[in-house]
Structures are given as structure tokens and as C-alpha cells.
Amino acid sequence: MATPTRLRFAPLEPSKTPSVEAPKLQGIVFDVDGTLCEPQTWMFARMRAVLGIAKSVDILDHVYSLAIEKQSAAMESIRNVEKEAMLKMIPQKGLMPLMEYLDKRGIKKAICTRNFETPVNYLISNFMKGQVFSPIITREFRPPKPDPAGILHISKSWGLEDGGERLIMVGDSVDDITAGRRAGSATVLLANDVNRGLVDHENTDCVVENLEDLIPILENGFTEIDRTASNPKTEP
């Protein structure tokens, strides 16, 4: 049985008239690692090895659980891994075509990442010169994803009063799509060989394998899973 869907955002192509009324998309929030740049899964394994924690333990939760006097050293150890990964960054396929398209259509762009500021700035200055992301939410903002606080902060900074309702969160991890869903945003999973299990996740609205694939989706109107159809109201 096909999953029911509904039109979430109106087509960005002005000449297209949707069959049902839908609001205009106001902005897109992007993750960084595995989304704007290709995934470097070794990085997270290295961080956990440095910290001496199991794969099941959240890296940032572990650092913040340490005694205050130990947190700085732990954070610096994972920054060193991130700096090494930064120099090996490869831009995601379809990156610039999508960025240029969003600029053409006047769609705001923001970043919400669990990374720290230096690799984010490196990515923008080396692979996306001239591109503006505002605001940029990094590790210093707490609580991090999967909490929706970062996305809600972005929405508020854009003057939106309905939380993340008029935004899309694009990412490659369960933290990304969970944060997006909790914020009330539509979600896009950038699928790869590692995260295939998230394709059918309850919080995933749309799946692409190349960022450029989002362009026709936005042009024709973004559809999402119709969760009201799967949970119909019972008549009294």
C-alpha cells in the first residue's frame, strides 16, 4: 500500500498552479557533515576512540556529562579530529546547482550542525564562495540536534511566528530528521550507503541521493507524508 502524501509547499515555479492551496516555502536548514559535504564516517569512530566511548554513546552528551574541568580537553580532542577531516572535505554532489537555484528563487538558507565553527567556515569559503547562510548554528548552541531548538531559533531569526512549519530540514542522520520533525518542519534525507535504514523512517518526508535532485521537487511543489491520513479521526 502506497504511503499517503500531501502538498506541503507550493511550487516555486511561478507558472505552476497547485491543485490544492499550500504555503510558500520560506527557507531551508542544512546539516553539514554528510549533507553539504560528503560523509566522513571515520571521523566519528575516531572521536569515540579518542574519548574511549562506545558507538552507542552520543559524543556531545558524553563530553557535557564530564566534570567541568575535563570538558575543555575532551572538546579539544574532538576538534582536532574535525580539523583533520576538514582538510579532506569533498563537496556534496549537486551542491552549487542547488545553492544557486535557491538564491534565484529567493529562498533563505541556514545551517544547523553539531560541528564547530572552523570546518563550517572552511566549507563555505572553499566550496561555496559568495553563498550566504544566516544564521549558522554550531556546537556552541545548546541543546544540539536532535533537539529542535536550533531550527526554532533559525525560524525566529527569520521573523517566522509558526516555529519550523514553513521550513525544510535537509540532513543525512536520524538527528537531522528528528530535529526537523520536532520543529514542525518538513524533512529531506540525503541518502547514502550508510544511512539507508532511514529511508523509511517515520520522520523522513522526502529522500534524495543528490542535492540537485531537490530542484525539480521544489519547482513542482514539495510533498510530505500525510500523517493525518495514517491517523484518521474517528467519528463520534
Q: Is 58 a catalytic residue?
A: no
- How is the chain classified by DSSP, letter by letter? -PPPEEEEE--SSTT---SS--PPP-EEEE-SBTTTB---HHHHHHHHHHHT--TTS-HHHHHHHS-HHHHHHHHHHHHHHHHHHHTT--BPTTHHHHHHHHHHTT-EEEEE-SS-HHHHHHHHHHHSTT----SEE-TTSSSPTTSTHHHHHHHHHTT-SSTTTTEEEEESSHHHHHHHHHHT-EEEEE--SS-GGGTT-TT--EEESSGGGHHHHHHH-EEEE-HHHHSPPPP-
Q: Which of the following is catalytic: 31, 172, 176, 205?
A: 31
Look up residue 157 and give its amino acid.
S
Q: Is 162 a catalytic residue?
A: no
Q: Which of the following is catalytic: 33, 172, 176, 205?
A: 33
- The Cα diameter of the chain in Å comes to 61
Residues recognised as catalytic: 31, 33
